[in-house]
Amino acid sequence: MRESKLWFWHILSAVVILVFLGIHMGIMHLDAILWALGIGSGDPVRSADVFRRSRQLFFMVTYVILLGSALFHGLYGFRSMLWELSLPRAVEKAVGGACALAGFALFIYGSYVAVAVFRMGR
Amino acid sequence: MRYRRKNQLGLWGWLGGGRWGPERYAYALHRLTGLGILAYFIMHIFVTGSRVGGPERWESTMASLSTPFFKAGEFLVFLAFSYHAINGVRLIFVELGTLIGKPGILSYPFSYSALRQRPLLIAAMVAATMLMIVGGADFYFLTK
**How many angstroms away from the CA of A57 is the closest CA of chain B?**
16
User: Coil, strand or helix: which one is B143?
Assistant: coil
Q: Identify the CA nearest to A69 among candidates A114, A103, A101.
A: A103
Q: Identify the CA nearest to A17 among candidates B58, B96, B25, B81.
A: B81
Note the pLDDT of residue B114. 75
Nearest-Å Rg of the Cα atoms of chain B is 20
Type of residue found at A38:
G
Single pTM value for the model = 0.88
Interface pTM, i.e. ipTM: 0.90
Domain boundaries, chain B: 22-141
A29/B139 CB distance under 8 A: yes
Type of residue found at B81:
F
Is A95 in contact with A32 (CB distance < 8 Å)? no
pLDDT exceeds cutoff 80 at A118: yes
* CATH architecture group of domain B22-141: Up-down Bundle (1.20)
Domains and CATH numbers, chain A: 2-118 (1.20.1300.10)
* Residues from B in contact with A at Cβ < 8 Å: 2, 4-7, 10-11, 13-14, 31, 34-35, 37-38, 41-42, 45, 48-49, 51-52, 54-55, 58-59, 62, 74, 78, 81, 85, 88-89, 92, 95, 134-135, 137-139, 142-144
The rounded distance, in Å, linking the Cα atoms of B10 and B139 is 38
- Name residues whose C-beta falls within 8 Å of residue A117's C-beta, 6 or more positions apart in sequence: A51, A54, A55, A60, B51, B52
Model confidence pLDDT, tens digit, residues A57-83: 999 999 999 999 999 999 999 999 998
A110/B45 CB distance under 8 A: yes
Model confidence pLDDT, tens digit, residues A16-29: 999 999 888 888 88
CA atoms within 13 Å, Cβ hemisphere of B131: 22
> Which residues does chain B have with pLDDT short of 50?
1
